[in-house]
């Protein structure tokens, strides 16, 4: 199991979002887990990553959403509108959310 999934543990109902530039082992593990857990596991492609993050927020339905290390490139809003939902990164020097266009997007 990759460090990301080993460190965070697979918590029931929690969702996981893997950056497109996360370590290869993390991406491989996410692909395997996605087959079992469906929308609770999201793998970003580096284009409009807010789509995958928002899908994970919806799938988590009030549970935590873990973002892997890496850079998430967004060009729109990330919306946390479900009570008790929290986004967690892997540390300020590991997880980055970056806007790729000048928009009025909100996080």
pLDDT tens string 56-101 = 999 999 999 999 999 999 999 999 989 999 999 999 899 999 987 6
| pLDDT value of position 5 | 65
| pLDDT value of position 42 | 97
| pLDDT value of position 99 | 86
Report how far residue 24's alpha carbon sits from residue 14's, in angstroms, rounded to the nearest whole number: 22
Banded pLDDT at 55 (limits 50, 70, 90): very high
Decide if 44 contacts 27 (C-beta within 8 A).
Answer: no
What backbone torsions phi and psi does residue 65 show, to the nearest 5 degrees?
-120, 120
């Amino acid at each position: 199991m990759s460090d990301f999934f080993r460190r965070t543990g697979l918590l029931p109902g929690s969702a996981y979002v893997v950056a497109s530039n996360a370590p290869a082992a993390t991406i491989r593990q996410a692909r395997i887990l996605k087959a079992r857990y469906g929308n609770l596991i999201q793998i970003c492609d580096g284009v409009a990553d807010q789509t995958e993050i928002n899908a994970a927020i919806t799938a988590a339905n009030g549970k935590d959403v873990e973002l892997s290390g890496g850079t998430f490139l967004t060009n729109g809003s990330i919306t946390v509108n479900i009570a008790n939902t929290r986004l967690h990164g892997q540390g300020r020097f590991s997880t980055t959310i970056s806007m790729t266009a000048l928009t009025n997007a909100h996080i």
